[in-house]
């Protein structure tokens, strides 16, 4: 065990950082009225943008990597956890892991157990702005939002974009760099832009 630590000194740095900022993280989540769960491991400081009339709920084994040195794939920016408007729900099950990237819910993002999301991926359930230019001029915030569901045991590769209204079925894999615009069935591998199923287990 000790030899492994000496062979990978960056892991010592990451663990030291995690312990150093632990009190601040507890305070940060508490101020946002987010209950701290068991076996959480957060390296670096995430960005939390929580609407006062929204819900963020995270299970045990919640793991976030936000510091630049926390992952060899590179972190473009800290993890962003966002509930954009009143009534939005961001709910994540047990044993979740994410590096960099963003989870932004205007209506709802539900993520099951044992889900891992690769570096710098964005999951967003809203267009942010209307597509119609006439509506956009009059009501720039009147965007469509449709909930996203990611089921148990899903793995999402780095630099992906998961868009509104999508369900990703249990045990599926999303290839790196994919743009997911439609549902992915259970036990499938999907990749590309737009993502399509290339293999089923």
Q: Hey, is 19 helix, strand or coil?
A: helix
DSSP 5: H
Pairing mode of beta strands 89-92, 55-58? parallel
Task: Find the catalytic residue in 51, 53, 129, 170.
Answer: 129
Asked if residue 166 lies in contact with residue 148, where contact means CB atoms within 8 angstroms, the answer is yes
Task: Name the nearest CA neighbour of 148 among 129, 173, 166.
Answer: 166
Q: Which H or E run includes 137?
A: helix 133-138
Does the annotation count 77 as an active-site position?
no
Asked if residue 188 lies in contact with residue 197, where contact means CB atoms within 8 angstroms, the answer is yes
Written as six digits, the tokens of 58 are: 């995270």
Cα 111 to Cα 133: distance, rounded to the nearest angstrom: 33
Cα 191 to Cα 79: distance, rounded to the nearest angstrom: 23
Catalytic residue list: 129
């Amino acid at each position: 065990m000790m030899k492994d630590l000496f062979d990978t000194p960056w892991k010592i740095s990451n663990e030291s950082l995690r312990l150093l900022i632990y009190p601040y993280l507890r305070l940060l989540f508490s101020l946002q009225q987010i209950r701290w769960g068991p076996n959480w491991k957060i390296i670096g400081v995430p960005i939390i943008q929580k609407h006062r009339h929204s819900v963020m709920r995270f299970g045990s084994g919640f793991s976030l990597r936000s510091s630049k040195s926390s992952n060899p794939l590179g972190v473009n920016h800290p993890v962003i956890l966002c509930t954009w408007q009143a009534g939005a729900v961001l709910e994540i099950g047990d044993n979740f892991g994410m590096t960099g990237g963003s989870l932004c819910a205007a209506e709802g993002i539900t993520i099951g157990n044992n889900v891992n999301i690769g570096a710098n991926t964005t999951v967003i359930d809203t267009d942010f702005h209307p597509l119609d230019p006439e509506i956009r001029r009059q009501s720039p915030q009147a965007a469509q939002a449709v909930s996203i569901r990611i089921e148990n045991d899903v793995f999402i590769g780095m630099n992906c974009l998961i868009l509104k209204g999508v369900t990703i079925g249990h045990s599926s894999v999303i290839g790196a760099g994919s743009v997911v615009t439609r549902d992915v069935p259970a036990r499938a591998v999907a990749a590309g832009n737009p993502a399509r199923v290339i293999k089923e287990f």
